[in-house]
Structures are given as structure tokens and as C-alpha cells.
Amino acid sequence: MNAIPDQRNGRDFIQSIERGFAVLLAFDADLPTPTLAELAKRTGLSRPAVRRILLTLQKLGYVSSRGPRWSLTPRVLTIGQHYAATHGIVEVARPHLMRVAERTGESSSLAQLDGTDVVYVARVHVRRVLSLNVDVGTRLPVHATSMGRVLAAYAEATTVDRILDAGLPRFTEWTVTDPIEFRDRLHDVRRAGYAIVDSELEDGFLSAAVPVRDATGDVVAALAYSTARGRHSIEDLERTVVPVLLEVAADIGRDLAALPERSRRLRVDARDGFF
């Protein structure tokens, strides 16, 4: 797939839509009920601009207010529901993720590339004392995750360049932050057909991922498994988990190939910094 150029300065770019999404995305776990001033500070927009956006979103049913504080409404969830409804891979993958969880006893996930992040589009969570707190829609850095490594390994060179240009921040002492080493790791993934990451995003957690291919052979997602370091070793993953992931990923690919053509729209728009 050809890289989509950044057209923010083009005449077709609507800045008001960008600002509207910036306000919506400013709500998160750290700031669930912000004031207008807090939203203005977080987005870098003026208070009058934020006020107009909030009032518009309120009329559309996406936000509500109580006193000086604002919050998202359940209607925001419909955006994600529309994504799932129009991307066949999400529906196809769900029963297969259950198979991975049942056979391994650990959480399984499906992720896609979005700019310089990986985004969880489906997940089956297995409750454990030690587990990563991630849900559908969670964004994680490409360079420090097994899913990201897989997706970057099979991405176009320009996509990898953008990931490197965005920087490789350190999360633990084990995080790969050197661009040359990162490219070497991508080469290893292409050669092996899978990725295993140990304690690079969060100390003590292991993850493995394999590519999911569509009917044309293109990599459209990554199927992943995660566990605590104390429960399994890298050798365990290579011996018992990776074969399961490869088998299930192949099954997902076959099911995708059986979908009607219009249901095979699998890719997330990867425009850098779209929001």
C-alpha cells in the first residue's frame, strides 16, 4: 500500500474537523471530566474555540456537561462500533482469539498499525494477578511491542522511516532505542516469521506476535499473546505458543479470504498525526 502523504497544509484539509477530534481525544483516564480551561491547555486551542467545539459536540450528543466540567457520552462508543462493523477482520478474529486464550491460558489480541502506534482492534482478556491493562482502542508504541515489531517488519520502508523519525523512547532498561538495532530486529522478524519482546514496554512482561495476512498475502494485522515473565520463558513461547499463533493466524487469513470483497477493508488510515 502506498504511503499517504501528510496533507495538513493542502486545501482539502479541514482544520475544524482536526480540532474537533483533538478535543474528543483530550478526554482520557487521567482527565475524564475536564474543564474548558483544562481542555484548552491540553489541546493548545483557545478557550473560545474549545467552547464552540464542546457546544457542537454536545448538540450532536457526544459530550455532556455538569457545572464547569465536561464528559464523554456513551454515543462516542458508536464510532468504534462502526469501525468493527465495516472491518471484517474484527468479527472474523474474535472466535480465533478465544481459541488462543483457551489453548494458552493467557490473553490474546489483534492489532493494526496506525501511524507510529499499534492499536488494539480486538482482545480476549484472561484475568491474572499480573497482566497488562489494555483494552480495544489502546495505543502502544511500535518499537517496544511484539505486535509493533511484526507490523513494522512487513511495512513499507517509508513507514519504518516515520516510526524512527518519531523517536524510540525508553520504557525500561531493555527497550531497544537504537535505530540500527531496531532495523536489525525487524530483519530478524522477517526471517523468523514472528516476534518476541521481553520487558521492553513494561518490566516483567513477555509477548509474542505473528503476522495475519489477507487473501493477497499482505500483512493486515498482528496476532499477539502476552504473559508475565515468571509464568513463562522465551523458550516456552518459542516452543509452545508461537506454533499456536502461527496456526491461528493462518486460520484467520483463510476466513478473511472467504469474506465478500466489500468486507475485506482491513487497514487503518495510517496518516501520521491525523488527529
Find where cell 488527529 sits: 275
Give the other-Cβ count within 10 Å of 15's Cβ: 8
pLDDT in tens, 215-269: 888 999 999 998 888 788 899 899 999 999 999 999 999 888 887 654 444 443 4
Which of the listed residues 27, 44, 72 is the one where a domain comes to its end? Answer: 72
Q: What is the dihedral of CA 271, 79, 96, 217, to 10 degrees?
A: -30
Q: Can you say whether residue 199 is alpha, beta or left, with left for phi > 0 and alpha for psi between -120 and 50 degrees?
A: left
List Cβ neighbours of 140 (8 Å cut-off, separation of 6 or more).
111, 117, 118, 120, 134, 147, 148, 201
pLDDT in tens, 4-51: 345 556 677 888 889 999 999 899 888 899 999 999 999 999 999 999
Cell of 112: 493494526
Asked whether residue 270 is assigned to any structural domain, the reply reads no
Which of 82, 138, 70 is closest to 110 using CA atoms? 138
User: Which carries the bigger pLDDT value, residue 83 or residue 107?
Assistant: 107
The residue-averaged pLDDT of 136-143 equals 90
- pLDDT bracket for residue 163 (50, 70, 90): very high
Asked whether residue 231 is assigned to any structural domain, the reply reads yes
List Cβ neighbours of 48 (8 Å cut-off, separation of 6 or more).
none
Asked whether residue 251 is assigned to any structural domain, the reply reads yes
Question: Based on the structure, what is the number of domains in the chain?
Answer: 2
User: Which carries the bigger pLDDT value, residue 23 or residue 137?
Assistant: 23
Distances (CA, A) of 77 to 23, 74, 82, 124, 272: 16, 6, 9, 18, 23
Sheet arrangement for strand 195-198:
139-141, 117-124, 108-114, 219-228, 205-213, 195-198
- pLDDT bracket for residue 270 (50, 70, 90): very low
Shared domain check, 139 and 167: yes
Cell of 65: 456537561
Shared domain check, 43 and 132: no
Give the pLDDT score at 10.
67
Q: Which domain holds residue 54?
A: 15-72
Range of weakest confidence among 138-142, 178-182, 262-266: 262-266
Shared domain check, 198 and 132: yes
Q: What is the dihedral of CA 179, 191, 111, 148, to 10 degrees?
A: -10
Residue 143 pLDDT > 80: yes
Please report, in angstroms and rounded to a whole number, the separation of the first and last CA atoms in the chain.
21
Give the other-Cβ count within 10 Å of 121's Cβ: 22
Residue 63 pLDDT > 50: yes
Residue 209 pLDDT > 90: yes
Find where cell 493548545 sits: 44
Asked whether residue 99 is assigned to any structural domain, the reply reads yes
Which of the listed residues 49, 72, 95 is the one where a domain comes to its end? Answer: 72
Shared domain check, 173 and 53: no
Cα separation, 240 vs 233, in Å, equals 11
| The pTM of the whole model exceeds 0.75 | no
pLDDT in tens, 107-133: 899 999 998 899 998 888 776 544 456
Is the separation of the CB atoms in 114 and 142 below 8 Å?
no
